[in-house]
Structure 1
Amino acid sequence: MPGVMAAAQRSDVVVEIGGLPIRLRCDDPAFIRLIIERYAGYVSSSNDTGFEFDIELAPPGAEPRDEDVRVTWDSGRWLMERGDFRAEWNPSASRGRIQQTSNPYSLDSVLRIVHTLLLARKGGFLVHASSAIRNGRAFLFPGVSGAGKTTMARLAPPDATLLTDEISYVTRQDDRYFAVGTPFFGELAHAGENLRAPIEALYLLAKGSENKIEPVAGTDAVRGLLGNILFFARDAEFVKLVFDAACDFVSRVPVRRLTFVPDSRVWELIV
């Protein structure tokens, strides 16, 4: 019973995505339990956290309707705001605070923003893409809403491991790019596996009357990737970091256009 009581009264939890553990604190144990449930598979026992956020829950009331995200750099802090949350983060102090509704998906948005900022410094990015590992290699399928990200995830063969059907996490290590599982999901409504693998290829999605693959190079490849990268901050330095990362990525990873019919046979072309 003491162990159960201790778990019920927890006021903090560590969520580790992409190998970056972030400690989240809140005075409301019920909200901590919601976080643990929401990020199952990504909750870490690590005490060596690089960043910490204190969460203050807004009083119950009507959900705000402002859906525009604003991210600005001011006096050594990143300021993040949407109708359902306001947050600030001081990277040099590794500390931040969040004021948000009790909806855990508000926290989803804050974490996505924070990870885009962290990844940009390391040559990585978050991208609107489903991704999966097959035979030790990762494949990315970026696209706008309706392009077929979730469809490709649903059609994946039994020997493929799904990393996400919505938001892919791309990180650079030396001269290679890796895809990492994320808890950020789309229509499948469940988190991807918390695994990583080197990226073999990226397939820009398009629906058609037949399955075919065409190479995409140069400017078209960069444009296709940039159009799907999560992009919150308009700070000039951040914009350059993301652009440089996209250019480097397409110089090292094959980019192809995948036109497909929603049929499992499409995966026979993924090599």
Structure 2
Amino acid sequence: MNQQHEIAIEIGGTPILFRTHDSSFREMMIDRYGGFIGFLSRPTLEFEVELVTPSGEMESEEDAQVEMRDGLWHFRRGDFRARWDPGAGRGYIRQSANPYSVDSVLRIVHSLILAGNGGFLLHAASAIRDGRAFLFSGISGAGKTTISRLAPPDVVLLADEISYVRREARGYHACGTPFAGELARVGTNCSAPVATLFLLGKGSENKIEVVNTAEAVRCLLRNILFFAEDAELVEMIFRSACDFVDRVSVRRLTFV
């Protein structure tokens, strides 16, 4: 019987174990997820990874599709097929030997886990300064990479593209992620309470403005990363966005 090789990737305090028969793929994963390698002994859920030779079907440009059927989550994109049984905490991925498919599966799974627990993945750069986390959210081109590049040396970068926001008893924490953006910098695997969410925009002058509640919720929802067309989870995310805006300072940051 072929030897199995395991690696646990822990993001936001949630370790997910991946099991494969290919030792070189495991080494590739270690290189890719470095500071986010967790303990094998306590995974929250597990995935068996079947590596296949790339084919025309598996190299298509198909967007990610996520749906629940018969109690199982099914994920698919041009480069992978996957399923996950949330009750059993086990899943299966069929993909070629590349880390990018795993990246996508991790984003999908964490978006589902967070949605059920009051959190979300957000298109945002995030960083810690003086023990507090700050989020800088916006659509592509809004300035997330610029903000990350200009961060002072005493700042701990959590993410330059996709931020992990976790609900806690007393508010929200931002956690580091390995999902790098244009800077190609993996975030630091740590967390801190969220102090402020800045909504990024370009303008003729640098300024910070207060944002009313309705506008803050609308902009936050626009930038939350979510894949499943599931009415119950979408409702949960809406409630989470409203709660977040009630608890966290939201400002609009406009810069030249």
* TM-score in same-fold range (> 0.5): yes
Whole-Å separation in 2 of the counterparts to 1:45 and 1:175: 27
Gaps of 5+ in 1: 1-8, 262-271
TM-score normalised over the length of structure 2: 0.96
- Cα distance in structure 2, aligned partners of 1:167 and 1:13: 22
Aligned to 1:84: 79
Alignment coverage as a number of residue pairs: 253
* Residue 104 of structure 1: aligned partner: 99
How far 1:209 moved relative to its partner? 2.2
CA contact (8 A) 1:10 1:32 kept: no
**Which residue pairs with 2:49 in the alignment?**
55
Query: Is the counterpart of residue 233 in structure 1 residue 228 in structure 2?
Result: yes
Shift of 1:58: 1.8
* Alpha-carbon separation, structure 2, partners of 1:159 and 1:10: 42
| Aligned positions of 1:11-30 closer than 5 A | 11-30=5-24
Measure the CA separation in 1 of the matches of 2:10 and 2:240. Answer: 23
Q: How far apart are 1:120 and its partner, in Å? A: 0.8
* Structure 2 counterpart of 1:214: 209
Task: Write the distance in 2 (CA, Å) between the matches of 1:113 and 1:46.
Answer: 21
CA RMSD of aligned residues (A): 1.2
How far apart, in 1, do the equivalents of 2:77 and 2:155 lie? 36
The unaligned stretches of length 5 or more in structure 2 are: none
Aligned mates of 2:122, 2:85 — CA distance in 1: 24
- Percent identity of the aligned residues? 58
Once the two structures are TM-superposed, the CA of residue 10 in structure 1 deviates from its matched residue by: 6.5
Moved over 3 A (4+): 60-63
Letter aligned with residue 73 of structure 1 = M
1:145-165 deviation line (CA, Å, top 9, x unaligned) = 111001100000111110010
User: Matches of 1:189 and 1:32 in 2, distance apart?
Assistant: 21
Corresponding residue for residue 113 of structure 1: 108
1:231 deviates by 1.3
Residue identity matched to 1:34 = M
Q: Could you say which residue in structure 2 is the equivalent of 1:64?
A: 59
Query: TM-score if structure 1 supplies the norm length?
Result: 0.91
Do the aligned residues in 1 keep the contact of 2:7 with 2:40 (CA within 8 Å)? no
Bigger mean CA offset, 22-31 vs 59-68: 59-68
Superposed CA offset, 1:180-206 (max 9, x none):
000001011121111100000000000
Task: Measure the CA separation in 2 of the matches of 1:61 and 1:232.
Answer: 25
Distance in 1, matches of 2:106 and 2:149, equals 26
Partner amino acid, structure 1, of 2:53: P
